[in-house]
Amino acid sequence: MKTIDENDFFREATLRICGSLEIDKALRSCLMYARDFIPCGCMNFHVYHRDLGIVETVARATPEENRALSLRAPLSPRARDQIIAQRSIRVRLIPRLGDDAVTRPVAGQLNALDHSAIVMDLVVEKTFLGILSVFDNGDRPFNDDHARLMGLLNEPFAIAFVNSHRYRELRNLRDLLADDNRYFQDELRRLAGEDIIGADFGLREVMEGVRQVAPLDSPVLLLGETGTGKEVAANAIHNSSSRRKAPFIKVNCGAIPPTLIDSELFGHEKGAFTGALSQKRGRIERAHGGTLFLDEIGELPPEAQVRLLRVLQEKEIDRIGGAEPVTVDIRIIAATHRNLENLIAKGRFREDLYFRIKVFPIAIPPLRRRRADIPDLLQHFIRKKSREMKLGAVPALAPGEIDRLMAYAWPGNVRELENAVERALILNRRGPLTFGDIGADPVPRAEGVPAPSSGDAPASKSLDAVMAAHIRTVLDACNGRVEGDHGAAKILDIHPSTLRKRMKKLGIPFGRNVRSTRQRAFS
């Protein structure tokens, strides 16, 4: 061992400790210098999680390598008590790691039970940050002089530990920002080209409401049939608001399975449940500073409704498995094609949540009530789909077709018109475009299943009653079968799990319930 000048040792070791923001690299640099004066074989950084009673090794350096890691060792109750009792001792010399209740679990994981060690609590401004441990090289144990020399480096190690921790936090934030940027760019690409056709005609009242409410942070409830363009209206509100540079996050409440809705909306902590391998921010948290668009809010499960109500009232969320609430600043825009008041009467939607989101309702008329917008919409979709299909020229419209389109009821609204244009372009890319199949049903029907009536449902029946009756008719024709080529889901053009969920809400039995009912009927 070299002769030691403590001032030189402190200066040179400190330069190496502070030479890298990667704490494992700084450890190895210091180790390679200190081993000329002290018989050290490795250095380690640890964090003590007092609430869990766990020591986590976060960095390790040997002459051969350095690594950042996460190696957790649970402590016994006796070891926890020992930590409290020896809190005032900043530097401790451990003759044999395997004989100490605190160091034994950690040393066992690092294959160092028979080594001596210098263990040093890292403290800055009376704040306990972590622990540095130095193991001997196996040839010669540590003594009191070695412990005193390492004690000189307490503050440099503590400062390096803080800097490294903050560096890791900044790096994680950078990764989160990069992830957000990818997510938002995808959203922007998806929304690109969504012009509001009819803003000066059929949607004049809608756009007037958008202009009135956009500068505020008040919740908005968009009402209208499926396919009327509620998402486009929500995007217009966001883009006209002071939050336009912040995220616009869409959640389709009917498309997320009930078992995943909490994780998707509110996020979860690492280890909160099986498969939660890392922390995940929910979509509400992603919308911080911006707008959260809850499409089909009537499909939101009751448990999620309760938690959403708290977001509106308290402006904070709880991640699954989280110990502390997370404050969020969001604007809520909700949309639905369902009658929420009927759902409230049936106990399937919370009345207090309804009045929270219905601060400024905007009703979007169906396409059949704004037929004057059809020519402009038609030209817009022809140009848009021609670009997407990379057609050299925009096909013309066949004579008389505009009259056919103006006379059609458009039960699928703007979305049906867009799909009709795309289908016409696929069938005749060069034009002229014709729409002779408008209103025809392209899905083969099972024998005995009647075609849907083109007229409106009787005024005395609710939408749910009409839907339930139609589903029962199709089920009877399919002998109660939901899935498969001859199942009701195939005929109704809906995913089987979505159909079962809707049947459950409408009180329509399926599966074993249907079979047992049929067996009783024929016995």
Domains, the chain, ordered by start: 6-167 (3.30.450.40), 199-363 (3.40.50.300), 368-427 (1.10.8.60), 463-522 (no CATH)
211, 240 Cβ separation under 8 angstroms: yes
Q: Which helix (H) or strand (E) holds 186?
A: helix 154-191
Q: What is the pLDDT of residue 279?
A: 77
Q: What is the pLDDT of residue 198?
A: 67
Q: What is the pLDDT of residue 193?
A: 43
**Which residues on neighbouring strands pair with residue 43, listed in sequence order?**
61, 134
Can you give the pTM of this predicted structure?
A: 0.52
Q: What DSSP line would sit under 189-235, residue for residue?
A: HHHTT---TTTTTTTHHHHHHHHHHTTS---EEEE--TTS-HHHHHH
**Which of 429, 456, 447, 444 is CA-nearest to residue 490?**
444
Alpha carbon distance 280, 270 (integer Å): 8
Pairing of strands 248-252, 331-336: unpaired
Q: What is the pLDDT of residue 93?
A: 92
Q: What is the pLDDT of residue 484?
A: 80
* Interval 442-452: pLDDT, tens: 444 444 444 44
Q: What is the pLDDT of residue 430?
A: 81
Q: What is the pLDDT of residue 440?
A: 55
**Which residues on neighbouring strands pair with residue 71, listed in sequence order?**
57
Q: What is the pLDDT of residue 496?
A: 81
User: What distances in angstroms separate CA 358 from CA 299, 317, 361, one per listed residue?
Assistant: 16, 21, 6
Q: What is the pLDDT of residue 39?
A: 92
Phi and psi angles of residue 332, each rounded to the nearest 5 degrees, phi first: -100, 125
Alpha carbon distance 511, 487 (integer Å): 12
Q: Which helix (H) or strand (E) holds 237?
A: helix 230-239
Alpha carbon distance 223, 368 (integer Å): 16
Alpha carbon distance 302, 417 (integer Å): 34
Alpha carbon distance 67, 48 (integer Å): 19
Per-residue pLDDT 10s for the chain (523 aa) are 666 788 888 998 889 888 888 888 888 999 999 888 989 999 999 888 888 888 999 889 999 999 888 888 999 999 898 888 887 788 889 999 999 999 999 999 998 999 999 998 887 777 788 889 999 998 888 999 898 888 888 888 888 888 877 777 777 777 777 677 666 655 554 544 455 776 666 788 888 999 999 999 999 999 999 988 898 899 889 988 999 888 899 999 888 888 888 888 888 888 777 777 777 888 999 899 999 999 999 999 988 899 999 999 999 988 888 778 889 999 999 999 999 999 999 999 999 999 999 999 999 999 988 888 888 888 888 988 998 888 888 888 888 888 889 889 999 999 999 999 999 999 888 878 898 877 654 444 444 444 444 444 444 445 667 677 788 888 877 778 888 877 888 777 778 887 888 888 788 887 655 544 444 433 3
251, 264 Cβ separation under 8 angstroms: yes
Q: What is the pLDDT of residue 442?
A: 47
Q: What is the pLDDT of residue 471?
A: 84
Alpha carbon distance 226, 415 (integer Å): 8
**Which residues on neighbouring strands pair with residue 60, listed in sequence order?**
44, 67
* Interval 220-234: pLDDT, tens: 999 999 988 898 899
Pairing of strands 54-61, 40-49: antiparallel
**Which residues on neighbouring strands pair with residue 46, listed in sequence order?**
57, 131
DSSP state of 397: B
Tokens read off for 162:
């803080």
Q: What is the pLDDT of residue 330?
A: 93
